[in-house]
């Protein structure tokens, strides 16, 4: 899902970090703001309530002070002689004048003389009667309050609707004769006085028939009116809200129908806080900015190395293991993460190196493997350059290693390979030379700067080096090899082709057994021909293109014809007669050889009755078996069925098996051989001497005959080593009770030498080449005649 860049899910870590913390910061600020504001308002309310309380006490004190002043003035008047005389004398005019003088001195609003029953005797008021009711109420109040000593009670009453504070002073002559009454109007002066000592607003209210009337106030008329309207209902509550403004208030009753209202605006108390809000907001804003900046920087400090780590991880993902990570020196978590990444990179790099080692190196010998060799070859070719450089490859394959491995066990085989690798190591002479093990028993030598002749020379020296048997655990093992040579750029334009050409040359050398060979394009195309032949071979069997050829086997003692070897020929419709070496090796590799074997055996069985010696006794016909035949469990039964078909006995046939065919799978081969022997077939070991098998091992097999390989026989006259070997084989075989046959008897000297050694039978061109069956029968008649009439054709020592 792809989202636009501004969407939160597309934000980078840094942005999320900053946004998250800004939101948190603002939330915390807002919460703090709210709490402070609520607390502040509560504080303001409490302080308003406290101030009202203080104000009420201040009002009380103010009223008490006025009472004291008033009382002093009243006592001065009561003590005045003239006044007391006038009272004694009942002189109303003098009384009234004294009342007026004293009252006006202290600005009293009312001054009067009362009798002991508080009835007005004389006064400064216009109408004494108007004062009478007031004087009576004040007298009653005064009597009720006059208990305390020294204190002057505060008594308030109305005069003409005006609240007034009154005091009484007793008048004695010396007997109490009455009271002096003095009154002070409670007016704006009182409001001003209180205003001077407190920050409160004071309103004096007087009850009328229609409600409360304001007697003294400095409040704006609208507020004053609103207050009066709510004076009764809001009395119990500490605050009142008027026109959206909250006030703390306190009512103080002063007398009947008179009360003082103290007032303080809560909003005014909160105002300082409200003023504080702006700097607070500014500080918050500055904090948010600072935080955003710091957060972004911190986020960058975190995310930049994280991004670098991400880049590094991506590099690792692409397989670039070479670059070490930076940032591992940091001590924080990022540093730890970088360190973890770095150690991960190192272990992956180590694993990769190990994999590379496994991919390019052979564990057994410690040499490069095929992949490693190919890489080295490519490098060498690239380095050689097109001008004059050359790169030679010498490839060799041990001849019988597979069989040795099976016969001796893999552990022994491994040590043999190591020994061979060590021997070959001596040929790594110049810098750049490289030895490698390409596969099981296949080695290759890379020789940069060497041409075909130099490489062939090295190959020949390798051949010589490998001729000395390898001795392990007191067992001497011969490991000859086929060696091929190919050179860049003569034989191939690239490394891969060069390897293939060297291998072709090596296969060629193995087949021809002529020592090391350079790559030969003609031979290569011949082997390609061989391959195409192979596909035709199956049809060839069915279409009767195969021919049975026979080559005689003759007793060395007296020249008697004792048998014949059946050898196949292929009469190809286009190519003419094809010799077996051009298709048998390939047929053997694929198993197509099995049909061929059965055809040959059938043909031999069919012609068996016609093959006779000089006395008319049947010849023993030898038929070659291959590895695939030996591994076929049903072979004995199949051969048995063919014998039945042609009414021939198994004893009339000898089956030739090479050592290597047995060694490919000794157990199965032995089982098959056992069953063949039980049926009555004679068994012969073919090409004896070229393989590894010891005579001791062969003794365990139900074998009747040894066939010494023609390579030894052909050389025995000229090469004393070959002669010694033939002699040894003949003696040993005889000790084991085996018949010895020599193949490759090309001439009389060989015949004579074999005769002297006591070899039993001979086969070779000296007597006859392989012949078509019909020709062989004609030849055998002539030969038998010669033998019957006395042996003279051959020299016998």
Q: How many amino acids of this chain bind Ca ion (CB under 5 A)?
A: 5
| Closer Cβ to Ca ion, 365 or 763, answer by number | 763
Which of 14-51 are b and which e, b meaning 16 or more Cβ less than 10 Å from the residue's Cβ? Answer: beebbeebbeebeeebeeeeeeebeebbeebbeebbeb
CB closer to ligand C2E, 398 vs 578 = 578
Considering beta carbons, is residue 362 or 686 the nearer one to Ca ion? 686
Calpha distance 287→295 (Å, rounded): 11
* 246: phi then psi, degrees, rounded to nearest 5: -95, 135
3-state DSSP call for residue 510? helix
Handedness of CA 321, 323, 326, 331 (dihedral sign): positive
Paired sense of beta strands 155-159 and 162-172, if any: antiparallel
Site for ligand C2E in 376-395 (CB under 6 A): none
Candidates 235-243, 301-309, 509-517, 593-601; binding stretch for ligand C2E (CB under 6 A): 593-601
Q: Which is nearer to ligand C2E, 3 or 769 (CB)?
A: 769
Residue 303 interacting partner from ligand C2E, Ca ion, none (CB closer than 5 to 8 Å by kind):
none
Binding segment for Ca ion among 233-241, 638-646, 697-705, 738-746 (CB under 5 A)? Answer: 738-746
Residue 624 within binding range of Ca ion, rule CB under 5 A: yes
Phi, psi (deg, nearest 5) at residue 387: -65, -75
In the block, tokens 């207050």 appear at 227
Indicate the Cα dihedral angle 514, 517, 521, 524, nearest 10°: 60
CB of 516 to Ca ion, least distance (A): 24
Q: Which CB sits closer to ligand C2E, 165 or 622?
A: 622
Residue 567 binds which entry of ligand C2E, Ca ion, none, with Cβ cut-offs from 5 to 8 Å by kind? Answer: ligand C2E
Q: Which two tokens stand for residue 698?
A: 């062969």
Please give the residue whose beta carbon sits closest to ligand C2E in the complex: 764
Helices (H), 385-467: 401-408, 410-425, 452-467
Burial zone of 617 (CB within 10 Å; 0-12 exposed, 13-18 middle, 19+ buried): exposed
Q: Considering only residues 638 through 667, tell me which ones interact with ligand C2E, judged by CB under 6 A.
A: 656
Q: What's the min distance (Å) between Cβ of 658 and Ca ion?
A: 8
* Cis geometry, peptide bond prior to residue 174 (ω within 30 degrees of 0): yes
Residue closer to ligand C2E (CB basis): 448 or 770: 770
Instruction: Compare residues 404 and 584 and give the one whose CB is closer to Ca ion.
Output: 584
Q: Is 632 in the site for Ca ion (CB under 5 A)?
A: no
> Using the rule CB under 5 A, is 686 a contact of Ca ion?
yes
Q: Which span sits near Ca ion by CB under 5 A: 229-237, 459-467, 509-517, 683-691?
A: 683-691
Q: Does 746 bind ligand C2E (CB under 6 A)?
A: yes
Q: Between 76 and 534, whose beta carbon lies closer to ligand C2E? A: 534
Could you tell me the CA-to-CA distances from 437 to 356, 364, 422, 462, 478 in Å, in that order? 16, 9, 11, 15, 19
Span between the terminal Cα atoms of the chain, in Å: 102
Figure out which of the listed residues 624, 627, 672, 739 binds ligand C2E, where binding follows CB under 6 A.
624
By C-beta, is 112 or 567 nearer to Ca ion?
567
- Tell me if residue 166 falls in helix, strand or coil: strand
Phi/psi at 3 (5° precision): -115, 155
Which of ligand C2E, Ca ion, none has residue 791 at its interface (CB below 5 to 8 Å by kind)? none
Mask of contacts with ligand C2E, 759-788, x by CB under 6 A? ----xxx----x------------------
Among 198, 626, 627, 739, binds ligand C2E (CB under 6 A): 626
Count of residues that bind ligand C2E according to CB under 6 A: 25
Distance of CA 774 to the CA centre of its chain: 78
Residue 551 contacts ligand C2E per CB under 6 A: yes
Provide the token pair at 509.
């050398």
Task: Give the separation between CA 248 and CA 99, rounded to whole angstroms.
Answer: 43
Q: Which residue number, 201 or 709, has a Cβ lying nearer to Ca ion?
A: 709
Structure tokens at 776: 């062989």
Query: Could you tell me the smallest distance in angstroms from the CB atom of residue 765 to ligand C2E?
Result: 4
How buried is residue 81: exposed, middle or buried, by Cβ count under 10 Å (0-12/13-18/19+)? exposed
691 binds ligand C2E (CB under 6 A): no
Residue 202: strand pairing partners: 262
Output the smallest distance, CB 474 to ligand C2E, in A: 32
**Whether the Cβ atoms of residue 260 and residue 59 lie closer than 8 Å to each other:** yes
- With CB under 5 to 8 Å by kind, the binding choice for 490 among Ca ion, ligand C2E, none is none
User: By C-beta, is 442 or 709 nearer to ligand C2E?
Assistant: 709
CB neighbours of 741 closer than 8 A, spacing ≥ 6?
Answer: 553, 684, 705, 706, 707, 708, 759, 760, 761, 762, 763
Residues that bind Ca ion (CB under 5 A): 624, 656, 686-687, 743
Residues that bind ligand C2E (CB under 6 A): 551, 566-568, 579-581, 584, 593, 597, 600, 624, 626, 656, 686-687, 710, 743-746, 763-765, 770
């Amino acid at each position: 899902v792809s989202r636009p860049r501004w969407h939160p899910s597309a934000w980078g870590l840094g942005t999320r970090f900053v946004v998250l913390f800004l939101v948190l910061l603002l939330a915390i600020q807002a919460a703090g703001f709210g709490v402070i504001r609520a607390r502040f308002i509560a504080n303001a309310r409490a302080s308003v309530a406290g101030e009202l309380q203080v104000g009420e006490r201040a009002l009380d004190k103010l009223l008490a002070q006025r009472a004291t002043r008033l009382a002093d003035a009243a006592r001065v008047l009561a003590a005045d002689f003239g006044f007391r005389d006038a009272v004694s004398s009942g002189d109303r005019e003098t009384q009234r004048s004294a009342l007026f003088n004293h009252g006006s001195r202290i600005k009293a609003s009312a001054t009067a003389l009362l009798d002991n029953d508080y009835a007005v005797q004389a006064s400064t008021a216009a109408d004494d009667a108007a004062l009478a009711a007031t004087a009576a109420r004040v007298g009653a109040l005064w009597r009720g309050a006059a208990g305390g000593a020294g204190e002057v009670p505060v008594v308030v009453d109305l005069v003409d609707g005006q609240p007034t504070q009154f005091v009484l002073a007793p008048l004695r002559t010396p007997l109490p004769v009455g009271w002096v009454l003095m009154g002070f109007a409670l007016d704006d002066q009182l409001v001003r006085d209180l205003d001077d000592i407190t920050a409160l607003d004071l309103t004096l209210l007087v009850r009328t028939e229609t409600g409360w009337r304001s007697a003294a106030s400095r409040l704006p008329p609208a507020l004053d009116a609103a207050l009066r309207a709510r004076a009764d209902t809001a009395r119990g509550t500490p605050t009142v809200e008027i026109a959206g403004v909250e006030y703390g208030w306190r009512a103080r009753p002063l007398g009947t129908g008179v009360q003082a209202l103290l007032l303080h605006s809560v909003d005014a108390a909160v105002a300082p806080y409200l003023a504080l809000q702006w700097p607070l907001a500014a500080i918050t804003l500055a904090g948010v900015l600072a935080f955003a900046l710091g957060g972004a920087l911190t986020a960058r400090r975190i995310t930049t190395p994280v991004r670098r780590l991400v880049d590094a991880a991506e590099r690792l993902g692409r397989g670039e293991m070479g670059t070490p990570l930076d940032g591992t020196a940091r001590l924080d978590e990022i540093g730890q993460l970088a360190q973890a990444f770095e150690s991960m990179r190192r272990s992956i790099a180590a694993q990769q190196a190990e994999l590379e080692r496994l991919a390019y190196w052979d564990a057994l010998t410690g040499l490069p493997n095929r992949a490693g060799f190919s890489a080295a070859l490519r490098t060498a070719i690239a380095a050689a350059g097109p001008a004059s450089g050359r790169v030679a490859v010498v490839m060799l394959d041990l001849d019988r290693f597979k069989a040795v491995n099976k016969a001796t066990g893999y552990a022994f085989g491994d040590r043999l390979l190591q020994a061979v690798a060590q021997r070959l190591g001596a040929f790594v002479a110049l810098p750049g030379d490289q030895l490698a093990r390409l596969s099981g028993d296949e080695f290759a030598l890379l020789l940069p700067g060497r041409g075909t002749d130099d490489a062939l020379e090295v190959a020949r020296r390798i051949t010589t080096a490998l001729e000395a048997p390898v001795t392990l655990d007191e067992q001497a093992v011969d490991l000859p090899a086929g060696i091929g040579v190919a050179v860049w750029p003569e034989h191939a334009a690239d490394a891969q082709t060069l390897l293939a050409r060297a291998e072709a040359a090596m296969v060629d050398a193995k087949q021809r057994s002529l020592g090391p060979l350079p790559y030969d394009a003609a031979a290569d195309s011949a082997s390609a021909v061989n391959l195409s032949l192979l596909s035709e071979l199956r049809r060839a069997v069915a279409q009767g293109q195969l021919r049975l050829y026979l080559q005689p086997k003759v007793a060395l003692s007296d020249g008697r014809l004792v048998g014949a070897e059946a050898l196949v020929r292929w009469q190809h419709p286009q190519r003419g007669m094809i010799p077996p070496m051009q298709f048998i090796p390939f047929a053997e590799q694929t198993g197509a050889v099995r049909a061929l074997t059965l055809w040959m055996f059938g043909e031999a069985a069919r012609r068996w009755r016609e093959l006779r010696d000089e006395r008319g006794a049947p010849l023993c016909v030898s038929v070659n078996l291959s590895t695939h035949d030996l591994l076929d469990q049903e072979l004995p039964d199949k051969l048995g069925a063919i014998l039945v078909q042609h009414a021939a006995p198994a004893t009339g046939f000898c089956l030739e098996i090479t050592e290597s065919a047995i060694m490919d799978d000794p157990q199965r081969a032995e089982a098959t051989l056992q069953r063949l022997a039980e049926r009555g077939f004679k068994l012969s070991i073919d090409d004896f001497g070229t393989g590894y098998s010891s005579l001791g091992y062969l003794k365990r097999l139900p074998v009747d005959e040894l066939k010494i390989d023609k390579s030894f026989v052909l050389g025995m006259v000229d090469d004393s080593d070959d002669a010694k070997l033939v002699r040894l084989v003949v003696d040993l075989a005889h000790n084991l009770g085996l018949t010895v046959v020599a193949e490759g008897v090309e001439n009389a000297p060989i015949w004579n030498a074999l005769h002297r050694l006591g070899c039993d039978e001979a086969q070779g061109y000296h007597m006859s080449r392989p012949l078509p069956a019909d020709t062989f029968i004609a030849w055998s008649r002539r030969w038998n005649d010669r033998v019957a009439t006395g042996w003279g054709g051959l020299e016998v020592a």
